[in-house]
């Protein structure tokens, strides 16, 4: 009886800036690293070409989607190109998944962008692998991204290991109720106490944070943990309140360090002892690599 044909290994197709990550993951998984071409026409439109060698195998597009409005058009075009080139499945590996905070219309006339972006994506991708998407009012990512396979990975074990390795007597602090899920999980994993504060957002850059009874933690090292640091207003207000309460300068830990505009410098100036993010989005604050969890997520995909 002839031996069953060996399936062609999946091919990782990195978007610009993701080449090194894709090469590491391909090497660790024994998958192939493709050479997609992306460029702009003189009028600013995107021109893409999938690696033709993707034919007959799954394609995994690697794209962390900070600055999403610059990236979504080339991403969706490359997904279409990969399928037309003969990819058997098209997967999106997006360590940072954008638009998840716009999960309702906050004012009449607005729209819940999360669902629109997810629907666009689901038209082109069979599977999505991402890390700690901002699931607040959306509890199941597939509600927004209706793809056949969704792998939601957690950075919590890596954050907890980093805290346990780097910081004595940590007190984990969640700047708002939405952060409670990350903070409680990370605290439990590193055996540290945690508190969650109350936040009121009055505008894009106007955030008020109130601190309940923090004086009892004076001999601890505060560690602010949040999923996203964008304008950093949430962390800056929290740093101010913790310092005013007489606590030590806090370490600020973000899963996704977006740091819009001068946010990073402003958070440093506010008195953060250290600012550390995972490498979901390339930034000077990156101190925690996500490869271990990304490898788990990719290995768990079913290419049946």
| Candidate residues 176, 217, 220, 224; the one interacting with ligand R5P per rule CB under 6 A | 176
DSSP 27-90: HHHT-EE---EEEE-TTS-EEEE--GGGTTS-EEEE---SSHHHHHHHHHHHHHHHHHTT-S-E
CA separation, residue 136 to residues 24, 77, 79 (Å): 32, 29, 28
Residue 232 as a binder of ligand R5P (CB under 6 A): the answer is: yes
Residue 51 as a binder of ligand R5P (CB under 6 A): the answer is: no
Residue 281 as a binder of ligand R5P (CB under 6 A): the answer is: no
CB of 179 to ligand R5P, least distance (A): 5
Which of the ranges 12-20, 160-168, 230-238, 277-285 carries the binding residues for ligand R5P, by CB under 6 A? 230-238
Which of the ranges 65-73, 80-88, 114-122, 172-180 carries the binding residues for ligand R5P, by CB under 6 A? 172-180
CB of 256 to ligand R5P, least distance (A): 9
Total residues in contact with ligand R5P, by rule CB under 6 A: 16
Which of the ranges 34-42, 122-130, 226-234, 290-298 carries the binding residues for ligand R5P, by CB under 6 A? 226-234
Contact assessment for residue 56 and residue 88, using Cβ atoms and an 8 Å cutoff: yes
3-state secondary structure string across 242-276? HHHCCCCCCEEEEEEECCCCCHHHHHHHHCCCEEE
Residues 129-148 that bind ligand R5P (CB under 6 A): 134
Pairing assessment for the beta strands 127-131 and 274-278 based on DSSP bridges: unpaired
CB of 266 to ligand R5P, least distance (A): 10
Residues whose CB is less than 8 angstroms from the CB of residue 192 and which lie 6 or more positions away in sequence, other chains included: 163, 170, 171, 172, 223
| Candidate residues 231, 238, 277, 285; the one interacting with ligand R5P per rule CB under 6 A | 231
Which of the ranges 43-51, 210-218, 220-228, 241-249 carries the binding residues for ligand R5P, by CB under 6 A? 220-228
Residue 234 as a binder of ligand R5P (CB under 6 A): the answer is: yes
CB of 262 to ligand R5P, least distance (A): 12
Give the separation between CA 41 and CA 47, rounded to whole angstroms: 6
Closest to ligand R5P by CB, 25 vs 209, is: 209
Name the nearest CA neighbour of 197 among 170, 226, 220. 226
Give the separation between CA 100 and CA 136, rounded to whole angstroms: 8
Which two structure tokens, joined as six digits, stand for 51?
């690696």
Residue 230 as a binder of ligand R5P (CB under 6 A): the answer is: yes
End-to-end alpha carbon distance in the chain: 23
Give the separation between CA 207 and CA 51, rounded to whole angstroms: 46
Residue 251 as a binder of ligand R5P (CB under 6 A): the answer is: no
Instruction: Please report, as ranges, the residues that interact with ligand R5P according to CB under 6 A.
Output: 101, 134, 175-176, 178-179, 207, 226-234
């Amino acid at each position: 009886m002839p031996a069953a044909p060996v399936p062609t290994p999946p091919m990782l197709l990195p978007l610009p800036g993701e080449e090194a990550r894709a090469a590491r993951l391909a090497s660790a998984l024994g998958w192939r690293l493709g050479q997609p071409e992306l460029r702009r026409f003189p009028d600013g439109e995107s021109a893409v070409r999938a690696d033709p060698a993707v034919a007959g195998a799954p394609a995994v597009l690697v794209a962390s989607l900070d600055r999403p409005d610059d990236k979504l058009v080339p991403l969706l075009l490359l997904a279409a190109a990969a399928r037309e080139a003969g990819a058997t499945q098209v997967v999106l590996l997006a360590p940072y998944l954008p638009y998840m905070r716009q999960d309702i219309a906050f004012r009449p006339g607005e729209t819940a962008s999360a669902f629109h972006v997810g629907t666009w994506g689901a038209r082109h991708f069979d599977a999505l692998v991402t890390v700690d998407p901002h699931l607040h009012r959306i509890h199941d990512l597939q509600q927004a991204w209706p793809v056949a396979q969704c792998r939601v990975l957690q950075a919590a074990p890596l954050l907890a290991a980093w805290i346990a390795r780097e910081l004595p007597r940590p007190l984990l602090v969640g700047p708002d109720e939405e952060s409670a899920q990350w903070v409680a999980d990370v605290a439990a994993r590193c055996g540290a106490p945690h508190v969650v504060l109350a936040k009121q957002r009055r505008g894009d850059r106007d955030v008020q944070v109130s601190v309940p009874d923090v004086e009892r933690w004076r001999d601890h090292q505060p560690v602010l943990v949040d999923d996203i640091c964008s304008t950093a207003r949430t962390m800056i207000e929290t740093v101010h309140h913790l310092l005013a309460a007489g606590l030590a300068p806090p370490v600020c830990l973000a899963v996704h360090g977006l740091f819009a505009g001068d946010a990073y410098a402003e958070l440093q100036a506010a008195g953060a002892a250290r600012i550390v993010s995972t490498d979901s989005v390339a930034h000077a604050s990156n101190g925690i690599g996500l490869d271990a969890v990304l490898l788990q997520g990719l290995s768990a995909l079913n290419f049946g």
